[in-house]
Structures are given as C-alpha cells and as structure tokens.
Copies of this chain bind each other. A is one copy, B any other.
Amino acid sequence: MNASILTIGDEICIGQIVNTNAAWIAERLTRIGIEVLIHSAVGDERNIMLNEIDRLFDTTDIVILTGGLGPTHDDLTKPVLCEYFGDELILHEETLRNIEQIFIRRGQSVSERNKEQAMIPSKCTPILNKVGTAPGMIFKKENKILISLPGVPAEMKSMIENSVIPLLENFLQESKTPVVLYKSLITSGIFESSLADLIEDPTSFLEGGALAFLPSYRGVKLRIGVRCDDFNKAKEKIERLEKILLEKVGKFIISTNDEPLDLVIGKILKERNSTVAVAESCTAGLLGAAFTEISGSSEYFLGGIIVYSNISKEHILGVKAETIEKYGAVSEETALELAVNVRNKFSSDYGISITGIAGPSGGSEEKPVGTVWIGIAAQNRFLAKHYQFNGNRDVVRQRAVGMALTMLYEELKIKE
C-alpha cells in the first residue's frame, strides 16, 4: 500500500514557509507500514491543483492533501475537489454546530465567512475538526482514497491521529499487500564517512534490504528498510540486519528505538537522579530549548543563564573580568568559568556552557566565525573543547547545541 502527500499553498511554493506538515504525515504513515512515494507541493491555482490531484490519485493508493481549506478567497481546495469528483457543496449540520460552539467558547458570534466552512462536497465523508473550524474530507473511488485536511498543523495532526490512522489501518488489514518496515539506529560521536568505512559494503549482508545514512547536527542515523510479503517476515529480517550492524558499529549506537540524543540523555539523568543547568552565550537559549523539547524534562533540567553580553557574563555568572580581558569571551577559560559557575548557581550535578562566534559578523583572523568553546563541569571534573563549525549563523548555533549534547552524553558514559 503506497501513498503520496500533496501540500497546497503559494506560501510553500515560493518558500515563505517550510513544509513541516509533509514530514509529519510521512513519518506517521511510515510507522503503520504505508510506503510514502511522493511528496508534492503546488500553489493555489486551479489547473495545477487539478493536474496534480489527478496524477497522484493515478500513481498511488492513498493521497493525503493538506491546505487550501481556510475562510479566505485564495482557498481553492473545496471547489477543485468538487470539480475533480463531479460533486457539489452541501451544508453539513454537525460541522456547523462545531463551528458555532468554537465561536461561543471564544465569546464571539459566527461570521458568514466562517459559516461557509460548514459547506462540504456531498460525496465525501467529513472528519470533525476538534481544534478548528474547517472539517476534513474523505473521498473513495475505485479502491483508492483521497483525504483532504486543513493546513494548520494542530488541526491536521489531531485529525490524522484520531480519524485518518484508524481508517487507514482498517484499509490496510482488508487489502493484502506487501509490507515495508523501517528501523533506525542512532549513533553519536562518529562521522558519516567513518561509519560507512566500518560497515564496509552493505549489499553483502542486506539481503535486498536498504541501508541509509542520515546525518544531522546531533549525530548520524542508520536506517534499515525492508519490504516483505507479510509483517512477521519483515520484522525478522529487520532484526537480522540490526544484529549485523550492532556487531559492526555497536559502540557508537546510542539507541535502537529511534530515541534521539536529547531523550537518551534525559533518561540517563532521570535514572541517576542527576540534574543539569546551562550557560549560553551565542546559542542564547537554544540549548535550554533543546533540553525542554521533551515533556518531563523538568525532572532533570533546572534552568540556565543566557549570558549574551560580556557584562552579564561577569555580573550575573561571576566570570572574572580579567579572564574575559586576557583570553576573550570566546575562550577555554571563559567556557570553563561559565560551566563551573552555572553548576554552582543552580546547585546542579552538571553545568554546560557554550560561547562562540555565530557570525556573520564578530569574527577575526585568530577567532573566525564558527569558533565555539563548549564547557562541561561535573562534581570532580571539568573540561572545555574547541570547535570550528562551518555554515551560517543558524547552522553554527544548531551545531553547537548538537555538540554540547554529544559532549554531555560522553561525560555521562564515562561516569557509567
């Protein structure tokens, strides 16, 4: 069973916003064994939309379409779907009541513009929107399915979880089709090309399966993919391949169940009842934000100080003025004092510091843009390491956060 994802909206086409919906939907479909073949995005234009819907409905069993369902004139998905399926709009009473209730809760009255959102094509099965006003729509034709959802992420996600996934799971069970399964092994502290050298020629053991190397700022992910006639065979094959990879590069693998580095670190800290605090200069809060992406992080993440100015490094975190004067704000000495002092200030088990030059300005010959010092302070140990990151401001900041997490993980491993 395969699928395509179609995103509607000029804002995507011209690059004003990043298409995060497609990735989220693809991940969710892949998890239940549906193979996503194509992601496509086109603008709010009738003919292009019609062509693309036709092509994708022709190529794949399931088409998930998002966007173009808002209350303004540039939202064309409903008229285009009516045209494609030869249908017309009718009032859907339950949707209208849902819209009215949302407005009552907001203490507002329903405008005509919003009432129109309760008009849906007569041939579709509507999906109730528990978060917003535009309903989702399911169309079936010749054993294929097209599902149209709002582009607002919270609304789309709620409908996928509560309505679309159960529907597709049924659809999958009823039709006997090959299964595609994936498994990810997450590594830390090793480059993509070194991993590839250790694994050698993967075709010698993959039995026709696939192995992908997916580098990110926080480590390289190895993803095994297999396609089999039935679910159990696919699962057995994945396990065989995983075992071979664990023999080859096991010491770099930090998780075999798709848990990212920040989650793995969080689990270790929780288990040991250890806590952490951060002192951030060039990343200015990104490391704190990374720790707290995870619900429940308050058990081990106490907080931090954003020491963006030199004055704040001195006055708020007590870095010595002569340290900054003699070695500079971006130096081993400053990184160490920041890490040690933030650990003391928060009475945490670990203190982590990041100080660097994210660019584009602020670099010098001696300390070019991308120079970053990261410090870690533990009970009886402290250290700081120097990095030279490539990339623009955003990339340097993201890499610094990834490396700070990697360093903390290494530190936690030593203490094991």
Contacts and interface: CB of A to CB of B under 8 A. Distances in A.
B38 A40 contact: yes
A37 B43 contact: yes
A35 to B, nearest CB: 8
A414 interface: no
Contact of A285 (B13, B286, B346): B286
A13 B36 contact: yes
A114 interface: yes
A272 interface: no
A368 interface: no
A394 B307 CA distance: 24
Interface string A289-300: 101110111100
A203 B308 contact: no
Contacts of A203: 73
Contacts of A170: none
A113 interface: yes
B27 A15 contact: yes
Contact of A196 (B10, B113, B392): B113
A301 B292 contact: no
Contacts of A178: none
A26 to B, nearest CB: 3
Nearest to A44: B212
A182 B14 contact: yes
A36 B202 CA distance: 38
A100 interface: no
Given A13-B37, A212-B44, A214-B16, A73 B202 contact: yes
Given A111-B197, A292-B284, A10 B212 contact: yes
Contacts of A152: 215
Nearest to A203: B73
A39 B23 contact: no
A343 interface: no
Interface stretch (A81-89, A238-246, A249-257, A309-317): A309-317
B154 A213 contact: no
Interface in A161-191: 182, 184
A312 B302 contact: yes
A274 interface: no
Contacts of A29: 15
Contact of A309 (B154, B291, B298, B316): B298
Given A74-B211, A311-B302, A39 B13 contact: yes
Q: Which of A15, A28, A221 has the most CB of B within 10 A?
A: A15
B154 A391 contact: yes
Contacts of A306: 278, 285, 288, 303-306
A270 interface: no
Interface in A296-349: 296-298, 301-309, 311-312, 316, 345-346
B293 A394 contact: yes
A237 interface: no
Q: Which of A11, A14, A16, A393 has the most CB of B within 10 A?
A: A14
Contact of A284 (B223, B291, B394): B291
Given A18-B20, A285-B289, A292-B308, A316 B298 contact: no
Contact of A23 (B17, B30, B345): B17
A125 interface: no
A10 B12 CA distance: 21
A360 interface: yes
A383 interface: no
26 contacts: A11-B214, A12-B26, A12-B39, A13-B36, A13-B38, A15-B24, A71-B193, A71-B196, A72-B196, A111-B197, A113-B193, A131-B390, A152-B215, A283-B289, A284-B291, A284-B303, A285-B285, A285-B287, A285-B288, A285-B306, A288-B306, A293-B394, A303-B305, A303-B306, A303-B308, A303-B316
